[in-house]
Amino acid sequence: MADTKITALTANTSPIATDIMPMVDDPGGSAATQKITLANLKTFFTDNTYTDFTPTLNQNGTIAKTVNLAKWIKIGNMYHVIIRLNITGAGSATNDIKVGNLPAAPAGTDPMVGNYLYYDSGTGFYSGAVLYITATGVLQFYTHGLTNPLGTTPNIATANGDVLWIDLTYAT
């Protein structure tokens, strides 16, 4: 086998997690042949499972909510986060609506990390960009065409029956 070309080897059409593959590790210019299992290789890229978490919701104080969905997955240094919050408490108008307790902080200063859709049960829908505010470690929501965060512009208070959907993808 030592003198067999890789193309001449028999194909394994049903590999299992404990199968071993050769790899060349080159940490500093001195290559070394090593082995890696398929299970470890899979873990390196992704474990293909989302992890539940509990985000916080605030509008000049903590807002009661039901977390219908809050999951994240990390692939490399990228996070994908999905959230659906059914709001059951009341906030204070003229204050920014904020979501915190992300699984990890995004890289950069105040990066745009995703999109949101907010259903205001008394008015209708708002949508726009989600920014991570580095100084405070929370998400804020900017409605298309407006310069201030949701809650300030438009001037709304969270209320029972409102719903917030968030979809984020960001690097750490």
pLDDT at 149: 96
Tell me what pLDDT residue 104 has.
92
Give pLDDT, residue 33: 82
Q: Are 142 and 150 in contact (CB under 8 A)?
A: yes
pLDDT of the residue at 7: 81
pLDDT for res 44: 65
**How far is the C-alpha of 157 from the C-alpha of 142, rounded, in Å?**
15
Q: Which of 53, 64, 90, 6 is nearest to 166 (CA)?
A: 53
pLDDT score at 46? 57
**Cα–Cα dist 172/170, whole Å:** 7
> How confident is the prediction for the chain on average, in pLDDT?
90
Phi-psi category of 8—alpha, beta or left, where left has phi over 0 and alpha has psi -120 to 50?
A: alpha
pLDDT value of residue 45: 62
Geometric angle at alpha carbon 118, from 148 and 159, rounded to 5°: 95
List, in order of start, the domains of the chain with CATH numbers.
Answer: 6-45 (no CATH), 51-171 (2.60.90)
The single-letter code of the amino acid at 20 is I
Both structure tokens of 14: 């049903």
Residue 22's pLDDT is 81
Instruction: Flag residues of the chain having pLDDT under 70.
Output: 1-2, 42-48
Give the CB-side neighbour count of residue 128, counting CA atoms within 13 A: 19
